[in-house]
Amino acid sequence: MAQTKIIVDSNSYFRLAQNIHPFLCKPFGEELYTLYMHADLTEEIQASSRIRNRFDWVQKEEYRNNRCRSVSLSKAQKKEIDETYEYLWEYVKEEFIDKRGKGPSPVDVKIVATALVLDVFLVTDDQDMIELAKTYEAKQMTSIGLMKLMRDCGHIDDDKINQVIEQWLYDNDTPYARWREEFKKTFKRDAPKGY
């Protein structure tokens, strides 16, 4: 059976991979869900001293090795992703940057374009990326949604989910203002309070 690929944005990667390891390229569930980072994100991690300082664990060999593979793309897919990116980027400039002064970065837009072309889920907690994905009907879920999928497939359990949430609270790196509401709606219980 072929893998069911899922692309993970960097914000979700940083929130999940430290405690759910190995995180990428390890199929789970009957659908063989397999998580990948976009190649541009792997380069972004290597280039950013800010990221490496804030998330010092990403430089450990076991995590670097786990990030070494990204989604394989054919020439035709790469061309279609580039074309889709150009279209989405024009929309982002008009609807986000010109009107709000901010919006998804070029790398974020490339990731949404990749998810659209490949017709795969994108995991992100970035609200601008979620809005862009919804506008163009790209499949997307949050870190909380991914943890539910993993739990439903028997890949992780509630103890692991609690560990992840407690790490978010300890790191002061929660996804967005209403994440506790999403957690309660998703898991039918209150999120851990932390330490």
The 10s digit of each residue's pLDDT in 8-21 is: 999 999 999 999 99
Name the CA radius of gyration of the chain, rounded: 17
pLDDT of residue 72: 87
**pLDDT exceeds cutoff 90 at 40:** no
For range 131-145, the mean pLDDT: 97
Average pLDDT on 35-53 reads 84
Whole-angstrom distance, CA of residue 165 vs CA of residue 159: 10
Q: Quote the pLDDT of residue 195.
A: 63
Q: What topology is assigned to 4-144 in CATH?
A: Rossmann fold (3.40.50)
Q: What is the pTM of this model?
A: 0.94
Q: Residue 35: which of 46, 45, 24, 44 has the closest Cα?
A: 24
Q: Which residues pair with 7 in a beta bridge?
A: 36, 122
Rounded to an integer, the average pLDDT of 132-158 is 98
Band the pLDDT of 158: cuts 50, 70, 90.
very high
What count of Cα atoms within 13 Å lies in the side-chain half-sphere of residue 83? 7
Per-residue model confidence (pLDDT) at position 194: 73
pLDDT at 44: 80
Q: How confident is the model at residue 46 (pLDDT cuts 50, 70, 90)?
A: confident
